Amino acid sequence: MKREKEMKRKRWQTTILLAVIIVVTYVSIAITEFNVLTGITAIPQAIGWMFSHLLITQESLAKLPSILEKLNETIFMSIAATTTAAAVSIFLGLMGSKTTRVSNVLSVLARFIASFSRNIPVVAWALILLLSFGQNSMTGYLALFVGTVGFLTRAFIESIDEVSGSAVEALTATGATYFQIVNKAVIPQSLPQMISWILFMIETNIRSATLVGILTGTGIGYIFDLYYKTMDYNTVALVTFTIVITVIAIEMASNYIRKVIL
């Protein structure tokens, strides 16, 4: 009896949910005047255009050294932004975590900083920071840094709480000090997970750095924007290709590191 009722309720919920999704989709299409049919039929055409225009030619290959230089700049900026953000996030993570926090006020503050910086998209951060820092690599670095602190702090809080509560209790009971506990129990136990999150953030940041670079006029994003605006699509293709290769390479490297440490 009870189960039948429960199942009926579930089926109703599913139906209602489905109806809501359909209505929301319909309303969004109507409001944005996006014509689904045109959108879908345009896809083959767009692919055709990409194949005919986005070709890497001999000519564009000559620009490879300067592209790689800018690409390097972007990669190193992403890594620097991620690692410096990670250092700050470890501190905020320790403050924010239930098991390792030193005071409630600091814990709330750490969580607030994390959610505030996380919930504003990196692109928005870049635009905001552009106003005060102008178009230079500092702006791009800071935009990535802020977003990364938000994300990593939250990830670290979860890693710490999940992994080390019981050992922290045991070491507290032996009379160990706070820093002994953090250094000898919390960090060793959560480090592999933390490194995994840092690697993930490096991947993500290299992707976002391209976009941020378009706005801040630095790195690979700048080059992309430059050739795009001058309609040199062959070079645009080459730039895109190098970005894709880099992201894949970084992903493979970090997967390998993960396998080794976990």
Query: Which part of the chain contacts another protein (CB under 8 A), choosing from 10-18, 111-119, 180-188, 218-226?
Result: 180-188
Q: Transcribe 92-134 into DSSP letters.
A: HHHHHSTTT-S-HHHHHHHHHHHHHHHSS-HHHHHHHHHHHH-
Q: Does 183 bind another protein (CB under 8 A)?
A: yes
For another protein, the binding residue among 13, 14, 119, 180 (CB under 8 A) is 180
Q: Does 169 bind another protein (CB under 8 A)?
A: yes
DSSP letter for 182, please: I
Minimum separation from the CB atom of position 164 to another protein (A): 8
For another protein, the binding residue among 19, 162, 184, 249 (CB under 8 A) is 184
Q: Is 62 helix (H, G, I), strand (E, B) or coil?
A: coil
CA distance 225 to 144: 19
CA distance 32 to 35: 9
Minimum separation from the CB atom of position 100 to another protein (A): 14
Q: Does 104 bind another protein (CB under 8 A)?
A: no
Helices 187-216 and 233-261, packing angle to 10 deg: 170
Q: Does 172 bind another protein (CB under 8 A)?
A: yes
140 in Cβ contact with 126 (< 8 Å): yes
Is the CB of 69 or the CB of 169 nearer to another protein? 169
Q: Does 179 bind another protein (CB under 8 A)?
A: yes
Q: Does 97 bind another protein (CB under 8 A)?
A: no
Half-sphere exposure of 195 (CA within 13 A, CB side): 15
Minimum separation from the CB atom of position 97 to another protein (A): 16
For another protein, the binding residue among 173, 229, 259, 260 (CB under 8 A) is 173
Encode burial over 218-234: b for 16+ CB neighbours within 10 A, e otherwise. bbbbbbbbbbeeeebbb
Q: Does 28 bind another protein (CB under 8 A)?
A: no
For another protein, the binding residue among 56, 120, 189, 258 (CB under 8 A) is 189
Q: Does 90 bind another protein (CB under 8 A)?
A: no
209 in Cβ contact with 140 (< 8 Å): yes
CA distance 184 to 170: 12
Q: Does 102 bind another protein (CB under 8 A)?
A: no
Q: Does 231 bind another protein (CB under 8 A)?
A: no
Minimum separation from the CB atom of position 259 to another protein (A): 16
Query: Which part of the chain contacts another protein (CB under 8 A), choosing from 37-45, 54-62, 88-96, 179-187?
Result: 179-187
Q: Transcribe 2-29 into DSSP letters.
A: HHHHHHHHHHHHHHHHHHHHHHHHHHHH
Give the interface size with another protein as a residue count (CB under 8 A): 21
CA 204 to chain centre: 4
Is the CB of 44 or the CB of 175 nearer to another protein? 175
The binding site for another protein (CB under 8 A) comprises 164, 166-167, 169-177, 179-181, 183-185, 188-189, 192
